[in-house]
Structure 1
Amino acid sequence: MSSPWFLRLMVVTFVAQFISSAIRPLITYESLAAGAGAMQVGFITAAFAVLALVAAIPLGKAVDRRGETGFLVLGGILVCATLLSLLAPSSLLLLGVCSAFLGLGHLVLVIASQTLIAKGSQPERRETRFATLTTVNAVAQIVAPAMTGLLVGDVASSHDELATHVPNSHLVVTIAAGMAVIATLSAISLRRWPGALARRSVPDAPRGRGSFAAVLRLPAVPAAILASLTVLTSIDLLGAYLPVYGQQHGISARTVGLLLATEGVAAIVVRIWMLRLITRFSRRRVLVGTMTLAAISLAGLPFLSLLDTPEPALFAVMVLAGLGLGIGQPATMAWVAAQTPVHLRGTAVSIRLSGNRLGQIVVPISVGALAGGLGLAAAFWCPAVLLLVSAGLILRTPRDRPSIVRTRRASRRLPHLKAKEGKLSD
């Protein structure tokens, strides 16, 4: 294979995020059609993270020991099998089980992909590649929910009539399964024809235990995990409960899909400017500012139902939410990788992702219970509060070390800094 390894990895990354962003809203609609309420939607949403939470840290250690490309193939096969299971007649139990295995397959792909970038990239290219990875994810987050919304159409567009069947659901699943096959073939090509990856220099891991504690003792890593958790769960809750919000207020599935796609477009825009923002203001300040913006946007969303035509205001809020939630994932990926020794990066990625999955279990279940008792607004106010709390704790972390971008610019002015660049970026 002559194509660069990073390009082939981006194919896998795009498909993994596309499937997650297309199928999870579909599962919400299928759950509503099967008679689920707000609490049941919360449980099914949380199921996505159950198996992933249990498997995350062992998977990260296994990736450190055995390499990444084999796990990319494994994740692709698991996602394919799960999507085929969704073609069976729907029930709440089946939807919950499929959500759990889809989450496990997605986790395998994410751990392997992020570890491959963390270990296979030079320090000066790592932050750029993580930004590219999350931009590819954002493109998938635009295209996938819009596709699901357009194919599903006007199902559940009125709270007076609950649909008992989701139109074109099998077509959505079939498209996703075909893309999963493409991703699996791309992963196989990375394993059989690694190209430049075969020539990378990876130091031997030292013997011994305690890698979990060693990672958590690293500066700023717990704060990065917290930021990642709150941002990701906020995105999940927005994707899970915006369809419920639409159903209650007469907004069609097509419009809901476009709203979620708008959030994805805004996330791409802010990620394009991410490196400049971090260079100018520091990663810590950028995270605090964007998380606060996202919290304000989510907190205001329930009030838009008071408007006669809430759709224009909803699109504006989705833009602000995308700008606020877009930087959290790439910034924390690069933050963790920069703070972690090479031989622990797979473990560090898995710890960060296990924190994400823990949040994806606890937060949706808690929010679903609150939404069932207090009303749907709680599904948006709770993540807003979590974002504000997380932003406050991030603000208390020590100042960032100089980023690779800022150090590279300084090295042009001060040649004697060039010798320190590698140390600062690692």
Structure 2
Amino acid sequence: MTGSGSSGSTASSRPARGDLTWLWVMVVAAILTQTSLNLLRPVTSYRLIEIGADEAAIGLATAAYAILPLFTAMWLGRSTARLPSLRGIIALGAAVMAISGVGLALGQSVLVIMVASAVLGMGHLVFTIAGQAAIGRRAPAHLMDAAFGWFTAAFSVGQMAGPLLSGLILGNTTLAESATDAGFDDRITASLWLGAGISLLAVPVMLALRPDGGSARRRSTTDPDDGLAPQATRGTSGEGTASGTASAAGAEGRPTMLAILKVPGIPSHMFAALALLAMLDILTAFMPLVGERAGVAPFWVGVLLAVRGGFSVLSRVFLPWISRRWTRNSLILVSLLVSAVGIGLVPVALTVWQSMLLAVLFMAAGGFVLGLGQPLTMTQISQAVPYTWRGPALALRLVGNRVGQVALPALAGLVAAPLGPAAGVWFACAVLAASGVERVTSGRTGPDRS
């Protein structure tokens, strides 16, 4: 009995472990698009500062990034569930991001930059929804944490490389010191063109991926995309199983927004994901402002943002090892609370203590734990719903993220306008802490529940 079970497990796991080419292609494409995204967004803040925009306007421009995705994420999630292959839609997302980079490079007014930012957000949404759906299709439950971990690690590589590239191009002088430098505007424009070009490189990478195999149909017992044996136990890995959710969600009917939100745990997971992503957006948009106020050059702002991304890469690389030793609920709680404290101290280190070393240390600690939360919330949401609901559920997660990306940067800008840019970062830290408190009060601190 034992031997039979062991043999079956080994047989079913070999294809998943042996043929991961699809995952590495997606990782390369994700690195390219996220490097582009995280080069374009902080440089956009410098462009806005240069043309005279204040904190409130920068907050609104940051919010514009999420406006189109807010209204299209669920539709895109349902559409990807019907597509026979996802490589084309993933490549399309990269191409749209490249087009938006051209718009940012050419834009010389707040309105044009807001429109280009909205297009950038749409391209990123298309890439992310299709990429997550591809992993939901192809990755078996016992490898899902690792697959989402590698995919989001690629995002963090881009979050490290993009700011470093922008900092190297913009240089080691503040905007105030560069007021008489006629070439500084040219360097901003060159950075934006570079971001557009890097995103465009992801298009041929994705088109080189082998098609999914024409499996658009609903898969209740077999998953042709990942080549696994019959999936009678698919989605029942470890503590976070999906078997109990079929009864909670009812028969696998239409995955409407309301039906998904009624699944136990989904609202809490979505709030955590929203808070974690909003912190990244607000950091990217407001750290250039914090740096300008503290007299920190763009190069060092890029270093700080790159440290955050780099330590998030590190935590996601070790995520399979970490998640075997601690529960997802515990790790998400640590991600929320520790990152709120660590990142909240970065502006203090720069403006009060005037110590770049302390700022780097706080950013490293905050970035490490911040990197744990996103892939774990993806897994919790994926395994909380019936298997055929995974694409729409992850799309709904992105809708929630986009609600946060519209509302929270705008609110952070309003907070920062009278109190200074550091207050915008502290506002994001408060949202992280609030999500952590919600998980404590709802009892999501110990073993994961299905």
TM category, shorter: 0.7 to 0.9
Contact 1:152 1:166 in 2 (8 A): no
Q: CA deviation at 1:145?
A: 0.5
> Which segment drifts farther, 98-107 or 388-397?
388-397
Deviation string 1:2-45 (CA, Å, 9 cap, x unpaired) is 99222211122112211111100011011111111100110011
User: Which ranges of structure 2 fall in alignment gaps of 5 or more residues?
Assistant: 1-18, 215-223, 233-250
Q: Which amino acid in 2 is paired with 1:50?
A: I
Aligned: 1:27 with 2:44: yes
Alignment equivalent of 2:204, drawn from 185, 194, 215: 185
Aligned to 2:278: 233
Aligned: 1:135 with 2:153: yes
Aligned to 1:98: 116
Q: CA deviation at 1:113?
A: 0.3
Q: CA deviation at 1:101?
A: 0.4
Aligned to 2:321: 276
Distance (whole Å) between structure 1 residues aligned to residue 137 and residue 385 of structure 2: 11
Aligned: 1:113 with 2:158: no
- Residue 377 of structure 1 aligns to a residue whose secondary structure is helix
Q: CA deviation at 1:304?
A: 2.3
Contact 1:49 1:358 in 2 (8 A): yes
Deviation string 1:358-381 (CA, Å, 9 cap, x unpaired) is 101100101101111222232122
- Distance change (3 Å), C-alpha of 1:63 and 1:400: farther
- Residue 66 of structure 2 aligns to a residue whose secondary structure is helix
Alignment equivalent of 1:58, drawn from 64, 68, 75: 75
Task: Supply the RMSD in Å over aligned alpha carbons.
Answer: 2.7
Contact 2:270 2:377 in 1 (8 A): yes
Aligned to 1:389: 434
- Distance change (3 Å), C-alpha of 1:285 and 1:308: closer
- Residue 190 of structure 1 aligns to a residue whose secondary structure is coil
Q: Which amino acid in 1 is paired with 2:259?
A: A
- Residue 52 of structure 2 aligns to a residue whose secondary structure is coil
Distance (whole Å) between structure 2 residues aligned to residue 75 and residue 202 of structure 1: 31
- Residue 96 of structure 1 aligns to a residue whose secondary structure is helix
- Distance change (3 Å), C-alpha of 1:162 and 1:357: farther
- Residue 208 of structure 2 aligns to a residue whose secondary structure is helix
Q: CA deviation at 1:123?
A: 1.1
Aligned to 1:332: 377
Q: CA deviation at 1:75?
A: 1.1
- Distance change (3 Å), C-alpha of 1:95 and 1:314: same
Distance (whole Å) between structure 2 residues aligned to residue 14 and residue 382 of structure 1: 29
Distance (whole Å) between structure 1 residues aligned to residue 438 and residue 107 of structure 2: 46
| Percent identity for Structure 1 against Structure 2 | 27
Aligned to 1:413: none
Q: CA deviation at 1:86?
A: 2.5
Aligned to 1:287: 332
Contact 2:413 2:424 in 1 (8 A): yes
Q: CA deviation at 1:306?
A: 4.8
Q: CA deviation at 1:152?
A: 1.1
User: Which ranges of structure 1 fall in alignment gaps of 5 or more residues?
Assistant: 404-423
> Which segment drifts farther, 138-147 or 297-306?
297-306
Contact 2:37 2:195 in 1 (8 A): no
- Residue 117 of structure 1 aligns to a residue whose secondary structure is helix
Q: CA deviation at 1:81?
A: 1.9
> Which segment drifts farther, 134-143 or 102-111?
134-143
Summarize the alignment of residues 32-51 of structure 1 with structure 2, pairs less than 5 Å apart.
Answer: 32-51=49-68
- Distance change (3 Å), C-alpha of 1:367 and 1:400: closer
Distance (whole Å) between structure 1 residues aligned to residue 343 and residue 281 of structure 2: 12
Distance (whole Å) between structure 2 residues aligned to residue 300 and residue 108 of structure 1: 34
Aligned to 2:188: 169
The alignment covers a number of residue pairs equal to 402
Contact 1:17 1:137 in 2 (8 A): yes
Contact 1:285 1:395 in 2 (8 A): no
Q: Which amino acid in 1 is paired with 2:157?
A: V
Aligned to 2:93: 75
Q: Which amino acid in 1 is paired with 2:81?
A: D
Deviation string 1:96-150 (CA, Å, 9 cap, x unpaired) is 1111100000000000001110111111111111111111111111111100111
Q: Which amino acid in 1 is paired with 2:267?
A: P
Q: CA deviation at 1:398?
A: 5.0
- Distance change (3 Å), C-alpha of 1:97 and 1:253: same
Aligned to 2:166: 148
